Amino acid sequence: MSSTLTFASETTKNFAANHRRGPEYNATIQNLTDQSITITVTNQSVQHTTSPTFDTPAAGALVIAAGVIGTITAPYKGWLLTAAGAATGTVEITEAG
């Protein structure tokens, strides 16, 4: 499953992970914006929880520089993508599993 998040001079975006995946999980995140992004995660619904609590992924801090690809291998219900500054461009997310 592929998703595209578009930043238009914004600093944050929420992403709801695919809930129909199997027990094996791997997501690739390609940062095509002009800013580095930091990804924090939650196991609360980002669509139904007013203020979900986000934290560092279990594997450690995930900061993806502009033009670089990062990965997450643990399943989470949602992510918060925070850009270092007002970002322009897209983030391409491919979920497998």
Domain chopping of the chain, boundaries: 2-96
| pTM recorded for the entire structure | 0.92
Q: Where are the beta strands (DSSP E) in 26-72?
A: 26-33, 37-42, 62-64, 69-72
Domain 2-96 has CATH 2.20.25: no
Mean pLDDT of 83-93: 98
pLDDT in tens, 17-75: 886 656 678 899 999 999 999 999 999 988 888 899 999 999 999 999 999 999 998 88
Q: What pLDDT does residue 78 have?
A: 93
Q: What pLDDT does residue 45 have?
A: 87
Mean pLDDT of 3-21: 90
Tokens at residue 49, please? 């929880």
Q: What pLDDT does residue 47 have?
A: 85
Tokens at residue 27, please? 């997501």
Q: In this structure, which amino acid lies at residue 17?
A: A
Q: Give the position of tokens 């992403």.
A: 15
